Structure 1
Amino acid sequence: MALHDILFLHADPELFAEYDRRFGDRYEGHSRTHLPSRFVELYEAAKNGGRTRTEYIDYQSIDVLLSLQRPHTAHPAEMSFYLVGQAKELLFKLVYEEVSAARLALVVDEADNASWNLRRAATALDLLARTWDVLATISPAEFNAFREQLGSASGIDSYMYRMLEFALGRKSDSMARRHAEVPGVAESVYRELHRSSVYDEALGLLHRRGLLTDGAEAGEWHPDALRQAWVRVYEAHGPSSDLFRLGETLMDLAHAFSRWRSLHLLLVERTIGNKHGTGGTTGVDWLRRSADHRFFPELWEARSILPMGAPLW
């Protein structure tokens, strides 16, 4: 049991009694002035035998969520930076969960269900892109006022983002190794690294539908075969086809992700120029290479070889 456990056990009389026995003296006199105000509120409510929570607070764990902001300075802009960072992590998880659901739908040939999940994931990525607009309001001078407090902390070590990239098909042993020493996290990251991606399962569906055959026995297709398979989807099928809709929602997702990365690049260039980034990255140069990457490359490349003229659906 730890001091911050008041966030979780204040509503349970038996657990609170034990908490009070261990930490009650921390809430007396001058000592309580060093505690987060939310800790004190919950302690007092539990001590009085009452509950300050509502069903909404309980359902969304709002009191826990709003207790997790711990900026390292008193600079107002750091709170904005801190909160946006946490919001991005929640949105990464949302996109990851939808992409994972889409992958499972494709395994059982439910292309439209997969497209529905991918549609929601792409919309969440659009919301993620707007987070850069908030951070763009932090001037270089404001950012420099608290940047040293970040130390080596960097978004490159976001394991939720890394798992999302893996789920979309951009696998990297070296990136997975960055999380190898983090208990509980490493297992999830490596599991996602070795699991089939949503794109793998989309290609498997094209194979089962007879649109992709070259190298199918090994599950490894030549890029040209993949491009031609997507061309056949667009030539032979229209919006009434689940494969057509799958291709377009995959493209929506890839487009939204690339847009998010490009806006990240612009934001960093605007804020720190060509300075080195945190976490050992080269900053803008590293982000520019990342922004050039495209998920589902053959789906993009198929556009270049689609024949001219109106499709005859």
Structure 2
Amino acid sequence: MEPQQPPPATPEQIVHAEQARLDFAREMSYGDYLRLDEVLSAQHPLSPDHNEMLFIVQHQTSELWMKLLLHELRAAIEHVAHDELPPAFKMLARVSKIMEQLVHAWDVLATMTPPEYSAIRPYLSNSSGFQSWQYRCIEFLLGNKNAAMLKPHAHKAERLAEVEQAFRSPSLYDESLRLLQRRGLPVPASHLERDWTQPYVESAAVEQAWLQVYRDPRRYWDLYQLGEELTDVEDAFRLWRFRHVTTVERVIGFKRGTGGTSGVGYLRKMLEVVLFPEIWRLRTDL
């Protein structure tokens, strides 16, 4: 004998069940989990201009993406330091995708015209993206070390401590080179134990170590993949920087930045920075 099926629910029972699921007075809701009341109440335009909301949301959302980027980047560096490459690859791929997201975010800000930005600029005082401590941590962890860039964060001890930690730590590339050496590749001692606060100096010997990997990818498959993940990260980072430059030039031209930099001139100079030089040079010498 087949088991007896329960009778279908009546319309009244269905409505009652749906109403029960709509009541979150005693449960955590979507807004509770994401703290949306706090997030969505954090936009406080200072000018009467309609377009300032775009400016605020653009930069706040970019900072949220950078928070995730740092979360992934720090973990990836830790995994590389412990020779755990598969999870590091996943995290570095996510870092590259986050940078792509940040690149596209400039498309929205680029809808702000020069007169629209001029209407809100006086209300910004000296605030500038140049002062983003999260961006500075990203640069330091990617190896672009510059002690002068600590100063904009000196007025907040807690933030300065976090930026200093990134400044004094081995970068993603530093840990990658140490990994190559642990795998038996001839990385010079000068690039294994050094003052991590100093800018990276390109080395012909380091390029030879990477060339050994790239000339025999089957033997060094995971190191070869690491080299390509590093290439992806820097490629995405360059696009992010370039899109920043073009958007700033489009909106303010060559005016000085609100934070005191030369504006577009400073940003263009940053385009010349190469994070992983041997990874790029070996393509010519391969």
TM-score by length of 1: 0.78
> Which of 118, 128, 133 does residue 144 from structure 1 map onto?
118
Q: Displacement, 1:217? A: 8.4
Other-structure match for 2:256:
276
Please tell me whether residue 298 in structure 1 is matched to residue 261 in structure 2.
Answer: no
Percent identity over the alignment? 39
Q: Displacement, 1:222? A: 6.0
CA distance in 2, matches of 1:72, 1:125: 29
CA distance in 1, matches of 2:207, 2:49: 51
Other-structure match for 2:61:
87
Check conservation: 2:76, 2:89, Cα contact below 8 A.
Answer: yes
Other-structure match for 2:17:
none
> Which of 170, 176, 198 does residue 202 from structure 1 map onto?
176
Show CA shifts across 1:64-110 (max 9, x none): 11111111123221101100100111111111111101110011101
CA distance in 2, matches of 1:217, 1:293: 19
Alpha-carbon spacing, 1:61–1:239, altered in 2? closer, same or farther (3 Å): farther
Please tell me whether residue 109 in structure 1 is matched to residue 89 in structure 2.
Answer: no
Counting matched residue pairs gives 257
Show CA shifts across 1:123-164 (max 9, x none): 000000001100110011111111111111111100000011
CA distance in 1, matches of 2:275, 2:219: 22
Check conservation: 1:102, 1:117, Cα contact below 8 A.
Answer: yes
Q: Which amino acid aligns with 2:46?
A: H
Other-structure match for 2:161:
187
Other-structure match for 2:131:
157
Q: Displacement, 1:240? A: 8.1
> Which of 132, 141, 149 does residue 175 from structure 1 map onto?
149
CA distance in 2, matches of 1:93, 1:169: 18
CA distance in 2, matches of 1:64, 1:173: 34
Other-structure match for 1:68:
42
Secondary structure of 2:51 counterpart: helix
Please tell me whether residue 130 in structure 1 is matched to residue 107 in structure 2.
Answer: no
CA distance in 2, matches of 1:51, 1:97: 33
Across the aligned residues of Structure 1 and Structure 2, the Cα RMSD in angstroms comes to: 2.0
CA distance in 1, matches of 2:89, 2:174: 15
CA distance in 2, matches of 1:210, 1:153: 48
CA distance in 1, matches of 2:29, 2:218: 47
> Which of 188, 212, 217 does residue 214 from structure 1 map onto?
188
